[in-house]
Amino acid sequence: MHTTRRLVLVLAVLILAVLAGTISAARAQTADPPPLPSAASPPPISSPPTSKTGDGVIGASNMLPAVTVTAPSVLENEPTDAASERRISGETLNARPISRPAEVLEATPGLIVTQHSGEGKANQYFLRGFNLDHGTDIAIWLDGMPVNMRTHAHGQGYADLNFLLPELLQSLVVRKGPYWAQEGDFSSAGALHLAYATRLEKDLVSATGGSFGYWRGLAAGTMPAGDGYLTGAGEIVRYDGPWTIPDAMRKYNGIVRYSEGTEANGFAITGMAYTNSWHSTDQIPQRAVYGGLIGLYGAIDPTDGGDSQRYSLSAHWNRRNETTDTRIEGYFVYSTLNLYNNFTYWLNDPVNGDQFQQADKRRLMGVNASHIVKHSVLGHDSESMVGLQLRYDQIDLGLFNTFQRTPLSTIRTDYVVETSAGLYYQNKTKWNDWLRSIAGFRGDVYWASDSSSLAGESAQATAFIPQPKAGLIFGPFDRTEFYLNAGIGFHSNDVRGLGQQVPMLAASRGAEIGTRTQAIRGLDSALAVFVLSFDSELVFGGDSGDTSPTRPSQRVGIEWTNRWQVTSWALLDADFAYTHARYTGAAGDTPGDFIPGAPALVASAGVTLGGDTGWFGALRWRYFGARPLTEDGSVYSTPSSLVDARLGYAFANGLKFTLDAFNVLNTQADQISYSYASRLPGEPAAGVNDVHFHPAEPFALRFTVAKAF
């Protein structure tokens, strides 16, 4: 039965490739990356968010492992409006060896992406001294659709990217800090905008096999249809992992897009479907490993895991001329998640254990609209942007006590309706050849209601938050610019907290001073010093499996980012980030000012080698610094240093072989760590305080054969 179903699914993916494999779009030519404009040639007031060729087909090369579509690397050299702003091409994203889809985000300087509970659960994110849990203060978007989920069963801002198809990525736009009028909820630490290609330059079939039962089949292609093009892609993924209880991950994923016209003047309609199921080895107590109760890759509760679905329909429409640029995006998403966790084992229920189910089923829809007008202010070139963002969430939530995934009792159920509207205005003016300014304002209003099964917990509320933004850019002076940015942002809180008088919105205040230079040929270097304060910190509870608002906090940090194109076939990059993170409000019952899980030091470096054909390779190093696990700083996690590598060969006929190696040095390290009390058999009723960790996976290999047509 299972063999037959597997064969049918594989054939379905291959049929999609055949249907889409008859037409390949003409390759656009890419130029050498230009430097930052000189003082005699000032930068444009507004740089486009992505770089595309005129007919809407992405200008790509076969360089490195990107065998289908990438935005040209010239995108990465365009002027920015802050030292920390980045535009990263699909070519760069696909040149990095990654073990899971969301790890492409680690191309963002200073960002760490980990996983602590099975291959279907959202990843854990760390940026600018934040343990962002699954997305509390990092806004993630794909093609105008928000990935973050408000009032989610497993944590505020839950952002699951397991449905991502990296080969289709055209670009990643990175904006850090609350300085951007177009960025709203969850974006204070950063906002990441991923974009798929409108249509593919080449069709692709690939197969991957590797260690610990990993295999993946992918097919993608574009064909003409009516007045436009039809693009489709599908993947099937299986993975067990090194765990004593195999992950048994089973993922099915697909996308279909119809597009007409160009990115500047055209439209596209996209449907996506994703389903996944898995077992999970959650964080485990150190004492169980050291005492020999379980191995390093063992589990306490063998029935933890979950299943997830995501279906979406989205569209975007663009019109652009010499003086105006209008874009309208709309989306509808239906998603479900059933998650079974047992973090404390037998602490609360010594008979049945402490496993619980978090259930989330939602429908969300929204519209993003923006209009840009170029004009003059006191005789100076200027442009103004006005935008509107609307979002509506209808959410069914459940929390249940379970035993081996069998329901025992209901803790609570909730029906939540959450609506928001964000209106913003931003002006950019070029005052002379070396000075330009940015001034903006954003206002967000939220309406929410919660119908809870708990007595006294049902509530409704309305909240509004004003957010001024500003920036100054000086330069370029010898291809060097200086930046001053400041603004107010926010994150929303879980609506289920309204019954406990938790405010719906929490404000952030941030500022940044920085510089970016391309004075040395081939080298792009940026330095940023920032400060970010929050009225209320969102912290993940390792023993409860959700997030909760806590005390005010402040972070002061520095980031240094470097990218050096040594030759046309050799690229070096190195990033360094250090953040001092502390609570700032009254301590109350908290024993100290350390923020649990907040990393101080993060660093990465890499080398990427290769040309359009022939041998190519990559080597990447990532350092994840120690984090305090308790408010008094008495317990820290251990730092980790991991190395990944890639080696491959690309033939002129589109055939490509790639070998990826993960954790090359077979380092024993932690993906994530928490400190809390849990109880194992025979232990005191009050439990034992211990460090609970999820180990990094050992050395693994994956081999890919791909053919581009």
Tell me what the mean pLDDT of segment 623-651 comes to.
Answer: 96
| Direct distance between the N- and C-terminal alpha carbons of the chain, in angstroms, rounded to an integer | 33
What is the rounded distance in angstroms from the CA atom of residue 385 to the CA atom of residue 49? 14
Determine the longest span between alpha carbons in the chain, in angstroms. Answer: 80
Instruction: Give pLDDT, residue 73.
Output: 63
Kindly state the tokens that stand for 103: 């790890």
pLDDT above 90 (res 596): yes
Neighbours of 416 (CB within 10 A): 21
pLDDT tens, 506-546?
999 999 999 999 999 999 999 999 999 999 887 765 545 55
Average pLDDT of span 202-228: 96
What are the Cα distances from residue 245, in Å, to 280, 478, 543, 680?
8, 58, 21, 18
- 391 vs 592, residue with greater confidence: 391
Mean pLDDT of 470-494: 96
Cα angle: 230, vertex 235, 241; to 5 degrees: 160
Domain boundaries, the chain: 2-299+314-708
| Helix, strand or coil, per DSSP, at residue 167 | helix
Mean pLDDT across the chain? 89
Q: Is the pLDDT of residue 302 over 70?
A: yes
Residue 525 is inside which H or E element, if any?
Answer: strand 523-534
Give the phi and the psi of residue 500 in degrees, each rounded to 5: -105, 20
Residues 337 and 563: their CA atoms lie apart, in Å, by 39
Q: What is the mean pLDDT of residues 564-591?
A: 90
Mean pLDDT of 658-673: 96
User: How much is the pTM?
Assistant: 0.90
Residues 6+ away with beta carbon under 8 Å from 656: 62, 65, 67, 648, 649, 650, 704, 705, 706, 707, 708
Which CATH code, of 2.60.40.10, 3.30.499.10, 2.40.170.20, 1.10.150.20, is assigned to 2-299+314-708?
2.40.170.20
Q: What is the pLDDT of residues 452-464, one digit of tens each?
A: 999 888 999 999 9
